[in-house]
A and B are shown apart, each in its own frame.
Chain A
Protein backbone atom coordinates (compact mmCIF):
# COMPACT_ATOMS: atom_id res chain seq x y z
CA UNK A 1 0.00 0.00 0.00
CA UNK A 2 1.35 3.39 -0.89
CA UNK A 3 1.35 5.99 1.89
CA UNK A 4 -1.45 8.55 2.04
CA UNK A 5 -0.31 12.16 2.28
CA UNK A 6 -2.85 14.88 3.04
CA UNK A 7 -2.80 18.40 1.62
CA UNK A 8 -4.91 20.93 3.49
CA UNK A 9 -6.76 23.54 1.47
CA UNK A 10 -7.43 26.88 3.18
CA UNK A 11 -9.32 29.86 1.70
CA UNK A 12 -6.61 31.44 -0.44
CA UNK A 13 -4.40 28.38 -0.84
CA UNK A 14 -2.81 28.44 -4.30
CA UNK A 15 -0.48 25.48 -4.50
CA UNK A 16 -2.61 22.74 -2.95
CA UNK A 17 -3.21 21.07 -6.31
CA UNK A 18 0.47 21.29 -7.22
CA UNK A 19 1.37 19.66 -3.90
CA UNK A 20 -1.17 16.88 -4.52
CA UNK A 21 0.32 16.34 -7.96
CA UNK A 22 3.86 16.22 -6.57
CA UNK A 23 2.77 13.60 -4.06
CA UNK A 24 1.25 11.45 -6.81
CA UNK A 25 4.33 11.82 -9.03
CA UNK A 26 6.48 10.73 -6.08
CA UNK A 27 4.37 7.58 -5.73
CA UNK A 28 1.97 8.22 -2.86
CA UNK A 29 -1.76 8.80 -2.66
CA UNK A 30 -2.70 12.47 -2.27
CA UNK A 31 -5.63 13.14 0.06
CA UNK A 32 -7.42 16.51 -0.12
CA UNK A 33 -8.13 17.85 3.38
CA UNK A 34 -10.32 20.84 4.24
CA UNK A 35 -9.46 23.56 6.76
CA UNK A 36 -12.89 23.53 8.42
CA UNK A 37 -12.90 19.81 9.19
CA UNK A 38 -11.62 18.24 12.38
CA UNK A 39 -10.55 15.19 10.40
CA UNK A 40 -7.16 14.23 8.97
CA UNK A 41 -8.72 11.11 7.35
CA UNK A 42 -5.97 8.99 8.85
CA UNK A 43 -3.23 10.32 6.57
CA UNK A 44 0.40 9.29 7.14
CA UNK A 45 1.86 12.76 6.49
CA UNK A 46 0.58 16.30 5.98
CA UNK A 47 1.47 19.17 3.64
CA UNK A 48 0.46 22.76 4.41
CA UNK A 49 0.58 24.34 0.94
CA UNK A 50 1.60 27.74 -0.31
CA UNK A 51 -0.68 30.62 -1.17
CA UNK A 52 -2.18 33.60 0.57
CA UNK A 53 -4.59 32.11 3.08
CA UNK A 54 -7.11 34.71 4.25
CA UNK A 55 -5.37 37.25 2.03
CA UNK A 56 -2.41 37.34 4.44
CA UNK A 57 -4.65 39.52 6.65
CA UNK A 58 -3.37 40.12 10.19
CA UNK A 59 -0.08 38.36 9.41
CA UNK A 60 0.80 35.76 6.77
CA UNK A 61 -0.49 32.39 8.02
CA UNK A 62 -1.88 33.83 11.24
CA UNK A 63 -5.59 33.27 10.69
CA UNK A 64 -5.06 29.88 9.03
CA UNK A 65 -3.03 28.74 12.04
CA UNK A 66 -6.26 29.02 14.07
CA UNK A 67 -8.35 27.01 11.57
CA UNK A 68 -10.30 24.04 12.99
CA UNK A 69 -8.09 21.37 11.37
CA UNK A 70 -4.93 22.92 12.85
CA UNK A 71 -5.83 21.40 16.25
CA UNK A 72 -5.48 17.95 14.66
CA UNK A 73 -2.32 19.01 12.78
CA UNK A 74 -0.68 20.12 16.04
CA UNK A 75 -1.64 16.82 17.72
CA UNK A 76 -0.33 14.81 14.76
CA UNK A 77 2.91 16.81 14.64
CA UNK A 78 3.45 16.17 18.34
CA UNK A 79 2.88 12.43 17.73
CA UNK A 80 5.65 12.44 15.11
CA UNK A 81 3.57 12.52 11.93
CA UNK A 82 5.64 14.17 9.18
CA UNK A 83 4.42 17.70 8.38
CA UNK A 84 5.79 19.90 5.58
CA UNK A 85 4.93 23.61 5.46
CA UNK A 86 5.70 25.29 2.14
CA UNK A 87 5.83 29.10 1.95
CA UNK A 88 2.44 30.13 3.41
CA UNK A 89 2.45 26.72 5.10
CA UNK A 90 5.82 27.55 6.69
CA UNK A 91 4.28 30.79 7.95
CA UNK A 92 1.38 28.77 9.42
CA UNK A 93 3.80 26.42 11.19
CA UNK A 94 5.51 29.43 12.77
CA UNK A 95 2.22 31.04 13.76
CA UNK A 96 1.05 27.72 15.25
CA UNK A 97 4.38 27.50 17.13
CA UNK A 98 5.16 24.11 15.61
CA UNK A 99 8.49 25.57 14.60
CA UNK A 100 10.35 28.46 16.19
CA UNK A 101 10.81 31.88 14.63
CA UNK A 102 8.52 34.06 12.55
CA UNK A 103 8.26 35.78 9.18
CA UNK A 104 8.19 39.45 8.33
CA UNK A 105 7.97 41.40 5.07
CA UNK A 106 10.94 40.86 2.76
CA UNK A 107 13.71 43.25 3.67
CA UNK A 108 13.52 44.94 0.23
CA UNK A 109 9.68 45.19 0.45
CA UNK A 110 9.19 43.55 -2.95
CA UNK A 111 7.46 40.33 -3.88
CA UNK A 112 10.14 38.10 -5.35
CA UNK A 113 10.04 35.12 -7.69
CA UNK A 114 13.20 33.33 -8.72
CA UNK A 115 14.66 29.89 -9.13
CA UNK A 116 16.54 29.70 -5.84
CA UNK A 117 19.65 27.73 -5.04
CA UNK A 118 19.63 26.17 -1.56
CA UNK A 119 22.00 24.02 0.42
CA UNK A 120 20.56 21.05 2.28
CA UNK A 121 21.97 21.56 5.76
CA UNK A 122 20.67 18.36 7.33
CA UNK A 123 19.33 15.05 6.07
CA UNK A 124 18.08 14.11 9.56
CA UNK A 125 14.47 15.13 8.86
CA UNK A 126 11.49 13.25 7.48
CA UNK A 127 11.51 15.40 4.34
CA UNK A 128 15.25 15.56 3.52
CA UNK A 129 16.51 12.02 4.21
CA UNK A 130 16.95 11.34 0.49
CA UNK A 131 19.38 14.23 -0.06
CA UNK A 132 23.13 14.25 0.55
CA UNK A 133 24.24 16.53 3.39
CA UNK A 134 25.48 19.77 1.86
CA UNK A 135 23.82 19.03 -1.47
CA UNK A 136 22.89 22.10 -3.50
CA UNK A 137 19.44 22.10 -5.04
CA UNK A 138 17.40 24.61 -7.05
CA UNK A 139 13.65 25.08 -6.60
CA UNK A 140 11.35 28.06 -7.24
CA UNK A 141 10.83 30.73 -4.60
CA UNK A 142 7.98 33.27 -4.59
CA UNK A 143 7.01 35.30 -1.57
CA UNK A 144 6.43 38.72 -0.08
CA UNK A 145 6.71 37.87 3.62
CA UNK A 146 9.63 35.49 3.58
CA UNK A 147 12.12 37.05 5.93
CA UNK A 148 12.79 34.45 8.64
CA UNK A 149 13.52 36.08 11.98
CA UNK A 150 13.87 34.96 15.59
CA UNK A 151 15.58 36.11 18.74
CA UNK A 152 19.35 35.65 18.47
CA UNK A 153 19.36 32.91 21.14
CA UNK A 154 16.71 31.01 19.16
CA UNK A 155 18.78 31.31 15.97
CA UNK A 156 21.85 30.09 17.87
CA UNK A 157 19.91 27.12 19.25
CA UNK A 158 18.45 26.20 15.84
CA UNK A 159 21.96 26.33 14.38
CA UNK A 160 23.45 24.36 17.28
CA UNK A 161 20.80 21.65 17.28
CA UNK A 162 20.93 21.09 13.52
CA UNK A 163 17.42 22.44 13.00
CA UNK A 164 18.45 24.72 10.14
CA UNK A 165 17.39 22.48 7.24
CA UNK A 166 17.93 24.74 4.20
CA UNK A 167 20.06 27.80 3.61
CA UNK A 168 19.93 30.23 0.68
CA UNK A 169 23.01 30.00 -1.54
CA UNK A 170 24.49 32.93 -3.54
CA UNK A 171 21.46 35.19 -3.03
CA UNK A 172 19.54 35.79 0.19
CA UNK A 173 16.25 36.76 -1.47
CA UNK A 174 14.41 38.22 1.51
CA UNK A 175 16.88 39.17 4.23
CA UNK A 176 16.33 36.04 6.35
CA UNK A 177 18.63 35.79 9.36
CA UNK A 178 21.67 33.54 8.76
CA UNK A 179 20.39 32.98 5.18
CA UNK A 180 17.90 30.50 6.65
CA UNK A 181 15.44 29.15 4.05
CA UNK A 182 13.93 26.33 6.12
CA UNK A 183 13.93 24.91 9.63
CA UNK A 184 12.60 21.88 11.49
CA UNK A 185 11.25 21.14 14.93
CA UNK A 186 13.55 19.35 17.39
CA UNK A 187 12.24 15.92 16.37
CA UNK A 188 12.74 16.52 12.65
CA UNK A 189 9.25 15.45 11.58
CA UNK A 190 8.04 19.03 11.05
CA UNK A 191 9.84 21.01 8.33
CA UNK A 192 8.99 24.43 6.95
CA UNK A 193 10.62 26.32 4.10
CA UNK A 194 9.85 29.33 1.92
CA UNK A 195 10.78 27.93 -1.53
CA UNK A 196 8.46 25.52 -3.35
CA UNK A 197 9.60 21.92 -3.88
CA UNK A 198 6.22 21.02 -5.41
CA UNK A 199 7.03 23.21 -8.42
CA UNK A 200 10.14 21.20 -9.28
CA UNK A 201 8.98 17.62 -9.60
CA UNK A 202 8.51 17.01 -13.31
CA UNK A 203 10.79 17.65 -16.31
CA UNK A 204 9.33 20.39 -18.49
CA UNK A 205 7.89 22.34 -15.57
CA UNK A 206 10.80 22.86 -13.17
CA UNK A 207 13.67 25.32 -12.96
CA UNK A 208 16.26 25.44 -15.74
CA UNK A 209 19.30 23.25 -15.27
CA UNK A 210 22.58 23.08 -17.12
CA UNK A 211 21.26 19.98 -18.89
CA UNK A 212 18.05 21.46 -20.28
CA UNK A 213 15.47 24.19 -19.86
CA UNK A 214 12.87 23.58 -17.12
CA UNK A 215 14.26 20.14 -16.38
CA UNK A 216 14.89 20.62 -12.63
CA UNK A 217 13.22 18.06 -10.37
CA UNK A 218 15.09 18.62 -7.08
CA UNK A 219 11.78 19.11 -5.28
CA UNK A 220 10.74 15.52 -5.88
CA UNK A 221 13.21 14.29 -3.24
CA UNK A 222 11.18 15.97 -0.45
CA UNK A 223 8.28 13.71 -1.26
CA UNK A 224 10.23 10.53 -2.03
CA UNK A 225 12.10 11.04 1.27
CA UNK A 226 8.95 11.06 3.34
CA UNK A 227 7.44 8.15 1.38
CA UNK A 228 10.53 6.01 1.93
CA UNK A 229 10.49 6.83 5.63
CA UNK A 230 6.83 5.90 5.94
CA UNK A 231 7.32 2.65 4.02
CA UNK A 232 10.34 1.73 6.16
CA UNK A 233 8.30 2.32 9.30
CA UNK A 234 5.49 0.11 7.97
CA UNK A 235 7.84 -2.80 7.25
Chain B
Protein backbone atom coordinates (compact mmCIF):
# COMPACT_ATOMS: atom_id res chain seq x y z
CA UNK B 1 0.00 0.00 0.00
CA UNK B 2 1.33 3.47 -0.80
CA UNK B 3 2.58 5.69 1.98
CA UNK B 4 2.61 9.47 2.21
CA UNK B 5 5.53 10.74 4.25
CA UNK B 6 5.12 14.11 5.96
CA UNK B 7 8.14 15.73 7.62
CA UNK B 8 7.79 18.50 10.17
CA UNK B 9 10.57 20.58 11.73
CA UNK B 10 10.56 23.21 14.47
CA UNK B 11 10.87 26.68 12.96
CA UNK B 12 14.42 27.97 12.81
CA UNK B 13 13.76 30.78 15.30
CA UNK B 14 12.13 28.43 17.85
CA UNK B 15 14.45 27.05 20.48
CA UNK B 16 14.59 23.24 20.20
CA UNK B 17 15.59 22.07 23.69
CA UNK B 18 15.58 18.41 22.62
CA UNK B 19 18.08 19.12 19.86
CA UNK B 20 20.15 21.15 22.27
CA UNK B 21 20.25 18.25 24.75
CA UNK B 22 21.42 15.85 22.03
CA UNK B 23 24.09 18.33 20.91
CA UNK B 24 25.31 18.46 24.52
CA UNK B 25 25.44 14.65 24.63
CA UNK B 26 27.47 14.55 21.40
CA UNK B 27 30.00 16.89 22.99
CA UNK B 28 30.24 14.65 26.05
CA UNK B 29 30.94 11.69 23.73
CA UNK B 30 33.86 13.64 22.33
CA UNK B 31 32.08 14.22 19.01
CA UNK B 32 32.92 17.88 18.76
CA UNK B 33 32.49 18.39 15.02
CA UNK B 34 28.83 19.44 15.24
CA UNK B 35 27.48 22.91 15.86
CA UNK B 36 23.78 22.11 15.97
CA UNK B 37 21.13 19.39 16.25
CA UNK B 38 17.45 19.95 15.55
CA UNK B 39 14.83 17.27 16.03
CA UNK B 40 11.74 17.05 13.87
CA UNK B 41 8.95 14.58 13.22
CA UNK B 42 8.23 12.17 10.40
CA UNK B 43 4.68 10.95 9.80
CA UNK B 44 4.01 7.92 7.57
CA UNK B 45 0.40 7.79 6.43
CA UNK B 46 -0.54 4.46 4.88
CA UNK B 47 -3.17 5.12 2.25
CA UNK B 48 -6.06 2.77 1.51
CA UNK B 49 -6.05 2.62 -2.27
CA UNK B 50 -4.48 5.01 -4.73
CA UNK B 51 -2.83 8.33 -3.92
CA UNK B 52 -4.96 10.66 -6.00
CA UNK B 53 -4.64 14.44 -6.22
CA UNK B 54 -7.58 14.67 -3.84
CA UNK B 55 -5.81 12.48 -1.26
CA UNK B 56 -2.63 14.53 -1.56
CA UNK B 57 -4.60 17.75 -1.19
CA UNK B 58 -6.24 16.35 1.93
CA UNK B 59 -2.88 15.39 3.44
CA UNK B 60 -1.48 18.85 2.69
CA UNK B 61 -4.43 20.34 4.57
CA UNK B 62 -4.04 17.87 7.45
CA UNK B 63 -0.33 18.61 7.65
CA UNK B 64 -0.98 22.31 8.19
CA UNK B 65 -4.07 21.91 10.40
CA UNK B 66 -3.08 19.05 12.65
CA UNK B 67 0.22 17.24 12.02
CA UNK B 68 2.15 20.50 12.41
CA UNK B 69 1.41 23.57 14.50
CA UNK B 70 2.46 26.24 12.04
CA UNK B 71 3.01 28.74 14.86
CA UNK B 72 6.12 26.81 15.88
CA UNK B 73 6.71 24.24 13.12
CA UNK B 74 7.10 24.04 9.35
CA UNK B 75 5.96 21.23 7.09
CA UNK B 76 9.20 20.69 5.21
CA UNK B 77 8.19 17.90 2.85
CA UNK B 78 5.28 15.74 1.72
CA UNK B 79 6.32 12.75 -0.40
CA UNK B 80 4.60 9.70 -1.80
CA UNK B 81 6.31 6.34 -1.46
CA UNK B 82 4.84 3.59 -3.63
Q: Select which of B13, B21, B72 is within 8 A of A102 by beta carbon.
A: B72
B18 interface residue, CB < 8 Å from A?
yes
Stretch touching chain B among A13-21, A32-40, A104-112, A164-172: A104-112
Contact (Cβ within 8 A) B66 A62:
yes
Instruction: Please report the C-alpha to C-alpha distance between residue A102 and residue B70 in the assembled complex, in whole angstroms.
Output: 9
Chain A contacts with B in 49-100, Cβ cutoff 8 A: 58-59, 62, 66, 94-95, 100
Instruction: Please report the C-alpha to C-alpha distance between residue A211 and residue B43 in the assembled complex, in whole angstroms.
Output: 53
How many Å from the CB of B32 to the closest CB on chain A?
22
- CB closest chain-B residue, reference A61: B69
Contact (Cβ within 8 A) A95 B14:
no
Contact (Cβ within 8 A) A104 B66:
no
Residues of B close to A95: CB separation below 8 A:
69
How many Å from the CB of B28 to the closest CB on chain A?
15
Q: Select which of A94, A102, A175 is within 8 A of B15 by beta carbon.
A: A175
Q: Select which of B14, B15, B66, B72 is within 8 A of A66 by beta carbon.
A: B66
Contact (Cβ within 8 A) A104 B15:
yes
Number of A-B pairs whose CB atoms are under 8 Å? 37
Contact (Cβ within 8 A) A104 B21:
no
A162 interface residue, CB < 8 Å from B?
no
Residues of A close to B15: CB separation below 8 A:
104, 107, 147, 149, 175
Residues of A close to B69: CB separation below 8 A:
59, 62, 94-95, 102
B27 interface residue, CB < 8 Å from A?
no
Residues of A close to B14: CB separation below 8 A:
104, 149
Instruction: Please report the C-alpha to C-alpha distance between residue A105 and residue B15 in the assembled complex, in whole angstroms.
Output: 9
Contact (Cβ within 8 A) B17 A149:
no
B29 interface residue, CB < 8 Å from A?
no
Contact (Cβ within 8 A) A94 B71:
yes
Instruction: Please report the C-alpha to C-alpha distance between residue A58 and residue B69 in the assembled complex, in whole angstroms.
Output: 10
Contact (Cβ within 8 A) A105 B71:
no
Contact with A along B63-82 (1 / 0, CB 8 A): 00011010110000000000
11 of the cross-chain contacts (CB-CB < 8 Å) are A58-B66, A62-B69, A102-B69, A104-B15, A105-B18, A106-B17, A107-B15, A149-B71, A149-B72, A150-B71, A151-B71
Starting from the known contacts A102-B71, A108-B17, 10 additional A-B residue pairs (CB-CB under 8 Å) come to: A62-B69, A94-B69, A95-B69, A100-B71, A104-B17, A104-B72, A109-B17, A149-B72, A150-B71, A175-B15
